Structure 1
Protein backbone atom coordinates (compact mmCIF):
# COMPACT_ATOMS: atom_id res chain seq x y z
CA UNK A 1 0.00 0.00 0.00
CA UNK A 2 2.81 2.34 0.94
CA UNK A 3 4.50 1.75 -2.44
CA UNK A 4 1.26 2.51 -4.28
CA UNK A 5 0.98 5.81 -2.42
CA UNK A 6 4.54 6.69 -3.41
CA UNK A 7 4.04 5.96 -7.12
CA UNK A 8 2.56 9.39 -8.00
CA UNK A 9 5.45 11.11 -6.20
CA UNK A 10 8.03 8.92 -7.95
CA UNK A 11 6.39 9.61 -11.30
CA UNK A 12 6.49 13.34 -10.62
CA UNK A 13 10.17 13.18 -9.70
CA UNK A 14 10.96 11.28 -12.89
CA UNK A 15 9.19 13.94 -14.92
CA UNK A 16 10.96 16.78 -13.14
CA UNK A 17 14.45 15.27 -13.38
CA UNK A 18 13.80 14.07 -16.91
CA UNK A 19 12.80 17.57 -17.98
CA UNK A 20 15.82 19.04 -16.21
CA UNK A 21 18.12 16.61 -18.03
CA UNK A 22 16.57 17.43 -21.39
CA UNK A 23 16.81 21.16 -20.66
CA UNK A 24 20.46 20.82 -19.61
CA UNK A 25 21.25 18.83 -22.75
CA UNK A 26 19.47 21.45 -24.85
CA UNK A 27 21.49 24.22 -23.23
CA UNK A 28 24.71 22.28 -23.79
CA UNK A 29 23.84 21.81 -27.45
CA UNK A 30 23.04 25.47 -27.78
CA UNK A 31 26.44 26.36 -26.35
CA UNK A 32 28.19 24.35 -29.06
CA UNK A 33 26.89 26.42 -31.94
CA UNK A 34 26.74 30.06 -32.94
CA UNK A 35 23.26 31.49 -33.33
CA UNK A 36 22.08 33.24 -36.49
CA UNK A 37 23.10 36.70 -35.23
CA UNK A 38 26.59 35.50 -34.35
CA UNK A 39 27.02 33.75 -37.69
CA UNK A 40 25.99 36.97 -39.44
CA UNK A 41 28.63 38.93 -37.51
CA UNK A 42 31.22 36.42 -38.74
CA UNK A 43 30.27 36.68 -42.42
CA UNK A 44 29.80 40.45 -42.36
CA UNK A 45 33.25 40.94 -40.81
CA UNK A 46 34.88 38.42 -43.15
CA UNK A 47 33.46 39.83 -46.39
CA UNK A 48 34.14 43.41 -45.30
CA UNK A 49 37.76 42.44 -44.70
CA UNK A 50 38.15 40.73 -48.06
CA UNK A 51 36.30 43.51 -49.87
CA UNK A 52 33.96 40.98 -51.48
CA UNK A 53 30.96 43.27 -51.84
CA UNK A 54 28.91 40.76 -53.83
CA UNK A 55 29.07 38.33 -50.91
CA UNK A 56 28.79 41.08 -48.30
CA UNK A 57 25.41 42.33 -49.48
CA UNK A 58 23.58 39.02 -48.89
CA UNK A 59 25.40 38.70 -45.55
CA UNK A 60 24.15 42.14 -44.53
CA UNK A 61 20.59 41.18 -45.45
CA UNK A 62 20.91 37.92 -43.53
CA UNK A 63 22.23 39.78 -40.51
CA UNK A 64 19.27 42.14 -40.41
CA UNK A 65 16.86 39.26 -40.97
CA UNK A 66 18.53 37.38 -38.10
CA UNK A 67 17.86 40.23 -35.69
CA UNK A 68 20.90 42.47 -35.86
CA UNK A 69 19.86 46.10 -35.56
CA UNK A 70 21.01 48.71 -38.07
CA UNK A 71 23.34 50.24 -35.49
CA UNK A 72 24.83 46.84 -34.59
CA UNK A 73 25.66 46.19 -38.24
CA UNK A 74 27.16 49.67 -38.56
CA UNK A 75 29.27 49.02 -35.48
CA UNK A 76 30.72 45.81 -36.95
CA UNK A 77 31.58 47.67 -40.14
CA UNK A 78 33.14 50.57 -38.25
CA UNK A 79 35.24 48.29 -36.04
CA UNK A 80 36.73 46.66 -39.11
CA UNK A 81 38.80 49.78 -39.81
CA UNK A 82 40.91 49.00 -36.74
CA UNK A 83 41.93 45.63 -38.19
CA UNK A 84 41.37 45.73 -41.96
CA UNK A 85 41.83 49.46 -42.59
CA UNK A 86 39.60 52.38 -43.56
CA UNK A 87 39.24 51.41 -47.25
CA UNK A 88 37.63 48.06 -46.39
CA UNK A 89 35.53 49.55 -43.61
CA UNK A 90 34.25 52.37 -45.81
CA UNK A 91 33.57 49.91 -48.63
CA UNK A 92 31.41 47.90 -46.25
CA UNK A 93 29.56 51.02 -45.12
CA UNK A 94 28.82 52.02 -48.74
CA UNK A 95 27.54 48.51 -49.41
CA UNK A 96 25.31 48.69 -46.32
CA UNK A 97 23.89 52.02 -47.45
CA UNK A 98 22.86 50.38 -50.72
CA UNK A 99 21.32 47.39 -48.92
CA UNK A 100 19.33 49.72 -46.66
CA UNK A 101 18.00 51.64 -49.67
CA UNK A 102 16.92 48.40 -51.33
CA UNK A 103 15.17 47.16 -48.18
CA UNK A 104 13.33 50.46 -47.75
CA UNK A 105 12.12 50.28 -51.34
CA UNK A 106 10.70 46.83 -50.53
CA UNK A 107 8.89 48.27 -47.52
CA UNK A 108 11.12 46.54 -44.96
CA UNK A 109 11.38 48.48 -41.72
CA UNK A 110 14.54 47.51 -39.86
CA UNK A 111 15.08 48.26 -36.19
CA UNK A 112 17.55 51.11 -35.76
CA UNK A 113 18.66 49.90 -32.33
CA UNK A 114 20.29 51.77 -29.49
CA UNK A 115 23.17 54.13 -29.97
CA UNK A 116 26.35 54.14 -27.91
CA UNK A 117 26.11 55.46 -24.38
CA UNK A 118 28.09 58.65 -23.72
CA UNK A 119 31.64 58.03 -22.55
CA UNK A 120 32.49 60.00 -19.36
CA UNK A 121 34.62 63.04 -20.15
CA UNK A 122 37.00 62.18 -17.32
CA UNK A 123 37.53 58.55 -18.38
CA UNK A 124 41.16 57.49 -17.98
CA UNK A 125 41.40 55.88 -21.41
CA UNK A 126 44.86 54.46 -20.80
CA UNK A 127 43.78 52.69 -17.60
CA UNK A 128 40.45 51.59 -19.07
CA UNK A 129 42.07 50.16 -22.19
CA UNK A 130 44.72 48.39 -20.15
CA UNK A 131 42.04 46.79 -17.98
CA UNK A 132 40.02 45.65 -21.02
CA UNK A 133 43.09 44.13 -22.67
CA UNK A 134 44.01 42.36 -19.44
CA UNK A 135 40.50 40.94 -19.10
CA UNK A 136 40.52 39.75 -22.70
CA UNK A 137 43.87 38.09 -22.03
CA UNK A 138 42.26 36.10 -19.23
CA UNK A 139 44.52 37.66 -16.59
CA UNK A 140 43.38 39.01 -13.23
CA UNK A 141 46.28 41.36 -12.71
CA UNK A 142 47.71 43.87 -15.17
CA UNK A 143 51.19 42.65 -16.25
CA UNK A 144 54.04 44.58 -14.68
CA UNK A 145 56.45 43.80 -17.50
CA UNK A 146 55.99 45.04 -21.04
CA UNK A 147 56.06 42.92 -24.18
CA UNK A 148 58.96 43.55 -26.59
CA UNK A 149 56.75 45.42 -29.09
CA UNK A 150 55.56 47.73 -26.29
CA UNK A 151 59.14 48.59 -25.42
CA UNK A 152 60.16 48.99 -29.06
CA UNK A 153 57.20 51.19 -30.06
CA UNK A 154 55.41 52.70 -27.04
CA UNK A 155 53.08 54.75 -29.24
CA UNK A 156 51.46 51.67 -30.80
CA UNK A 157 50.78 50.41 -27.28
CA UNK A 158 49.18 53.75 -26.44
CA UNK A 159 46.97 53.57 -29.53
CA UNK A 160 45.95 50.00 -28.67
CA UNK A 161 44.98 50.90 -25.12
CA UNK A 162 43.47 54.34 -25.60
CA UNK A 163 41.82 53.93 -28.97
CA UNK A 164 41.10 50.27 -29.73
CA UNK A 165 40.41 48.96 -26.23
CA UNK A 166 39.00 52.24 -24.87
CA UNK A 167 37.41 54.42 -27.57
CA UNK A 168 36.06 51.44 -29.53
CA UNK A 169 35.46 48.77 -26.90
CA UNK A 170 33.77 51.27 -24.57
CA UNK A 171 31.01 51.72 -27.12
CA UNK A 172 28.26 49.48 -25.79
CA UNK A 173 26.36 48.88 -29.03
CA UNK A 174 28.15 45.54 -29.25
CA UNK A 175 29.30 43.35 -26.37
CA UNK A 176 32.97 42.50 -25.99
CA UNK A 177 32.10 38.95 -27.06
CA UNK A 178 30.49 40.19 -30.28
CA UNK A 179 33.48 42.44 -30.94
CA UNK A 180 35.89 39.54 -30.49
CA UNK A 181 33.80 37.36 -32.81
CA UNK A 182 33.98 40.06 -35.48
CA UNK A 183 37.71 40.45 -34.85
CA UNK A 184 38.61 36.77 -35.30
CA UNK A 185 36.50 36.64 -38.46
CA UNK A 186 38.41 39.63 -39.78
CA UNK A 187 41.84 38.28 -38.86
CA UNK A 188 41.07 34.85 -40.31
CA UNK A 189 40.05 36.50 -43.58
CA UNK A 190 42.95 38.94 -43.56
CA UNK A 191 45.54 36.18 -43.83
CA UNK A 192 49.06 35.98 -42.40
CA UNK A 193 47.86 37.31 -39.04
CA UNK A 194 48.34 34.18 -36.96
CA UNK A 195 49.82 36.04 -33.98
CA UNK A 196 46.92 38.46 -33.48
CA UNK A 197 44.44 35.69 -34.36
CA UNK A 198 45.94 33.51 -31.64
CA UNK A 199 45.47 36.25 -29.05
CA UNK A 200 41.95 37.13 -30.13
CA UNK A 201 40.75 33.53 -30.34
CA UNK A 202 41.80 33.19 -26.72
CA UNK A 203 40.13 36.51 -25.96
CA UNK A 204 36.92 35.34 -27.65
CA UNK A 205 36.85 32.33 -25.35
CA UNK A 206 37.62 34.53 -22.35
CA UNK A 207 34.46 36.50 -23.14
CA UNK A 208 32.43 33.29 -22.87
CA UNK A 209 32.46 31.62 -26.28
CA UNK A 210 32.70 27.86 -25.75
CA UNK A 211 35.06 25.44 -27.43
CA UNK A 212 32.10 24.11 -29.40
CA UNK A 213 31.20 27.58 -30.60
CA UNK A 214 34.78 28.16 -31.69
CA UNK A 215 34.66 24.96 -33.73
CA UNK A 216 31.35 26.17 -35.17
CA UNK A 217 33.07 29.44 -36.09
CA UNK A 218 35.50 27.39 -38.19
CA UNK A 219 32.55 25.61 -39.82
CA UNK A 220 30.99 28.96 -40.77
CA UNK A 221 34.29 30.06 -42.32
CA UNK A 222 34.57 26.78 -44.20
CA UNK A 223 31.02 26.86 -45.55
CA UNK A 224 30.61 30.58 -46.19
CA UNK A 225 33.99 32.28 -46.50
CA UNK A 226 36.64 29.92 -47.85
CA UNK A 227 38.49 26.64 -47.29
CA UNK A 228 41.87 28.35 -47.03
CA UNK A 229 40.69 30.79 -44.37
CA UNK A 230 39.01 28.00 -42.41
CA UNK A 231 42.05 25.72 -42.48
CA UNK A 232 44.39 28.47 -41.33
CA UNK A 233 42.02 29.43 -38.51
CA UNK A 234 41.61 25.77 -37.55
CA UNK A 235 45.36 25.41 -37.03
CA UNK A 236 45.46 28.52 -34.83
CA UNK A 237 42.45 27.33 -32.82
CA UNK A 238 44.12 23.97 -32.22
CA UNK A 239 47.13 25.80 -30.78
CA UNK A 240 44.92 27.99 -28.59
CA UNK A 241 42.94 25.05 -27.23
CA UNK A 242 46.12 23.06 -26.53
CA UNK A 243 47.56 25.98 -24.56
CA UNK A 244 44.36 26.39 -22.54
CA UNK A 245 44.32 22.70 -21.57
Structure 2
Protein backbone atom coordinates (compact mmCIF):
# COMPACT_ATOMS: atom_id res chain seq x y z
CA UNK A 1 0.00 0.00 0.00
CA UNK A 2 1.24 3.45 -0.82
CA UNK A 3 1.77 5.85 2.08
CA UNK A 4 -0.38 8.93 2.34
CA UNK A 5 0.38 10.59 -0.98
CA UNK A 6 -2.93 11.10 -2.70
CA UNK A 7 -4.28 14.54 -1.86
CA UNK A 8 -7.55 13.78 -3.65
CA UNK A 9 -8.29 10.73 -1.51
CA UNK A 10 -10.36 11.35 1.65
CA UNK A 11 -9.52 9.74 4.99
CA UNK A 12 -12.54 7.47 4.52
CA UNK A 13 -11.49 6.41 1.01
CA UNK A 14 -7.91 5.83 2.17
CA UNK A 15 -9.23 3.77 5.10
CA UNK A 16 -11.48 1.69 2.88
CA UNK A 17 -8.56 0.98 0.55
CA UNK A 18 -6.25 0.07 3.44
CA UNK A 19 -8.83 -2.16 5.11
CA UNK A 20 -9.46 -4.04 1.88
CA UNK A 21 -5.73 -4.60 1.38
CA UNK A 22 -5.05 -5.63 4.97
CA UNK A 23 -8.10 -7.54 6.13
CA UNK A 24 -10.04 -8.28 2.96
CA UNK A 25 -13.47 -9.76 3.57
CA UNK A 26 -12.95 -10.12 7.34
CA UNK A 27 -12.48 -6.38 7.76
CA UNK A 28 -15.41 -5.57 5.54
CA UNK A 29 -17.56 -7.91 7.65
CA UNK A 30 -16.62 -5.94 10.78
CA UNK A 31 -17.69 -2.69 9.11
CA UNK A 32 -20.96 -4.25 7.89
CA UNK A 33 -21.67 -5.57 11.39
CA UNK A 34 -21.70 -1.99 12.68
CA UNK A 35 -24.12 -0.65 10.05
CA UNK A 36 -27.31 -1.21 12.04
CA UNK A 37 -26.02 -0.28 15.49
CA UNK A 38 -23.25 2.31 15.05
CA UNK A 39 -22.64 3.39 11.44
CA UNK A 40 -20.70 6.45 12.62
CA UNK A 41 -18.34 4.16 14.54
CA UNK A 42 -17.71 2.20 11.33
CA UNK A 43 -16.69 5.47 9.69
CA UNK A 44 -14.37 6.32 12.59
CA UNK A 45 -12.86 2.82 12.34
CA UNK A 46 -12.13 3.35 8.66
CA UNK A 47 -10.85 6.90 8.98
CA UNK A 48 -8.59 6.80 12.03
CA UNK A 49 -6.89 3.39 12.34
CA UNK A 50 -6.88 2.56 8.63
CA UNK A 51 -7.05 5.95 6.90
CA UNK A 52 -4.62 7.72 9.23
CA UNK A 53 -2.43 5.20 11.10
CA UNK A 54 -2.10 2.13 8.85
CA UNK A 55 -1.60 4.42 5.84
CA UNK A 56 1.38 6.24 7.33
CA UNK A 57 4.86 5.75 5.93
CA UNK A 58 7.54 4.31 8.19
CA UNK A 59 6.38 0.74 8.73
CA UNK A 60 5.24 -1.86 6.24
CA UNK A 61 1.82 -3.45 6.62
CA UNK A 62 3.63 -6.63 7.64
CA UNK A 63 5.43 -4.81 10.46
CA UNK A 64 2.21 -3.11 11.55
CA UNK A 65 0.46 -6.48 11.77
CA UNK A 66 3.29 -7.88 13.89
CA UNK A 67 2.75 -5.03 16.36
CA UNK A 68 -1.02 -5.37 16.23
CA UNK A 69 -1.04 -9.13 16.80
CA UNK A 70 1.33 -8.72 19.76
CA UNK A 71 -0.74 -5.91 21.28
CA UNK A 72 -4.08 -7.69 20.89
CA UNK A 73 -2.63 -10.88 22.35
CA UNK A 74 -1.18 -8.97 25.31
CA UNK A 75 -4.54 -7.29 25.99
CA UNK A 76 -6.09 -10.69 26.54
CA UNK A 77 -9.60 -9.32 26.00
CA UNK A 78 -9.81 -8.94 22.24
CA UNK A 79 -10.02 -12.42 20.74
CA UNK A 80 -12.33 -11.50 17.83
CA UNK A 81 -10.02 -8.65 16.83
CA UNK A 82 -6.95 -10.87 17.32
CA UNK A 83 -8.43 -13.47 14.97
CA UNK A 84 -9.13 -10.80 12.33
CA UNK A 85 -5.55 -9.55 12.60
CA UNK A 86 -4.04 -13.04 12.50
CA UNK A 87 -5.80 -13.42 9.13
CA UNK A 88 -4.60 -9.95 8.18
CA UNK A 89 -1.05 -10.93 9.10
CA UNK A 90 -1.27 -13.84 6.70
CA UNK A 91 -2.74 -11.52 4.05
CA UNK A 92 0.25 -9.16 4.28
CA UNK A 93 2.94 -11.82 4.22
CA UNK A 94 3.41 -13.28 7.69
CA UNK A 95 3.74 -17.04 7.87
CA UNK A 96 1.99 -19.23 10.39
CA UNK A 97 5.34 -19.91 12.00
CA UNK A 98 5.99 -16.18 12.45
CA UNK A 99 2.54 -15.65 13.97
CA UNK A 100 3.11 -18.51 16.41
CA UNK A 101 6.47 -16.97 17.38
CA UNK A 102 4.87 -13.54 17.92
CA UNK A 103 2.29 -15.11 20.22
CA UNK A 104 4.90 -17.14 22.11
CA UNK A 105 6.95 -13.96 22.60
CA UNK A 106 3.97 -12.48 24.45
CA UNK A 107 4.44 -15.05 27.24
CA UNK A 108 7.48 -13.07 28.41
CA UNK A 109 5.73 -9.69 28.57
CA UNK A 110 2.02 -10.47 28.91
CA UNK A 111 2.15 -13.85 30.67
CA UNK A 112 1.44 -17.43 29.80
CA UNK A 113 -2.37 -17.07 29.89
CA UNK A 114 -2.26 -14.31 27.25
CA UNK A 115 0.10 -16.35 25.07
CA UNK A 116 -2.01 -19.50 25.47
CA UNK A 117 -5.16 -17.59 24.54
CA UNK A 118 -3.39 -16.09 21.53
CA UNK A 119 -2.18 -19.49 20.39
CA UNK A 120 -5.71 -20.83 20.77
CA UNK A 121 -7.00 -18.00 18.56
CA UNK A 122 -4.30 -18.74 15.97
CA UNK A 123 -5.14 -22.43 15.99
CA UNK A 124 -8.80 -21.60 15.34
CA UNK A 125 -7.91 -19.23 12.48
CA UNK A 126 -5.53 -21.73 10.89
CA UNK A 127 -8.14 -24.51 11.12
CA UNK A 128 -10.79 -22.27 9.59
CA UNK A 129 -8.45 -21.32 6.75
CA UNK A 130 -7.59 -24.97 6.11
CA UNK A 131 -11.30 -25.78 6.03
CA UNK A 132 -12.02 -22.89 3.63
CA UNK A 133 -9.02 -23.26 1.33
CA UNK A 134 -7.50 -26.66 1.83
CA UNK A 135 -4.08 -27.26 3.38
CA UNK A 136 -2.08 -26.31 0.26
CA UNK A 137 -3.11 -22.63 0.19
CA UNK A 138 -0.93 -19.72 1.33
CA UNK A 139 -0.66 -19.62 5.11
CA UNK A 140 -1.31 -23.33 5.40
CA UNK A 141 -0.02 -25.83 7.94
CA UNK A 142 3.07 -26.47 5.86
CA UNK A 143 4.29 -22.97 6.81
CA UNK A 144 4.89 -24.03 10.41
CA UNK A 145 6.91 -27.17 9.77
Fold in common (TM above 0.5)? yes
Query: 1:152 maps to what in 2?
Result: 37
| CA distance in 2: counterparts of 1:187 and 1:229, whole angstroms | 9
Task: Describe the shift of the 1:127–1:229 C-alpha distance in structure 2 as closer, same or farther (beyond 3 A).
Answer: same
Shift of 1:160: 1.1
1:181 to 52, 63, 66: 66
Larger C-alpha radius of gyration, 1 or 2? 1
The answer to whether structure 1 residue 123 and structure 2 residue 41 are counterparts is: no
Q: Considering only aligned residues, what root-mean-square deviation do their CA atoms show, in Å?
A: 2.3
Shift of 1:224: 4.4
Task: Describe the shift of the 1:143–1:203 C-alpha distance in structure 2 as closer, same or farther (beyond 3 A).
Answer: closer
1:96-138 C-alpha deviation (Å, 9 max, x unpaired):
xxxxxxxxxxxxxxxxxxxxx6644322221221121122224
Shift of 1:177: 1.0
- Once superposed, which parts of structure 1, at least 4 consecutive aligned residues long, lie more than 6 Å away? none
TM-score calculated relative to the size of structure 2: 0.77
TM-score calculated relative to the size of structure 1: 0.47
How many residue pairs get matched? 127
Query: 1:216 maps to what in 2?
Result: 101
Task: Describe the shift of the 1:120–1:136 C-alpha distance in structure 2 as closer, same or farther (beyond 3 A).
Answer: closer
Shift of 1:170: 1.4
| CA distance in 2: counterparts of 1:157 and 1:149, whole angstroms | 6
Whether the aligned pair in 2 keeps the contact of 1:119 and 1:170 (CA below 8 Å) is: no
Runs of 5+ unmatched residues, structure 2: 131-145
Whether the aligned pair in 1 keeps the contact of 2:19 and 2:28 (CA below 8 Å) is: no
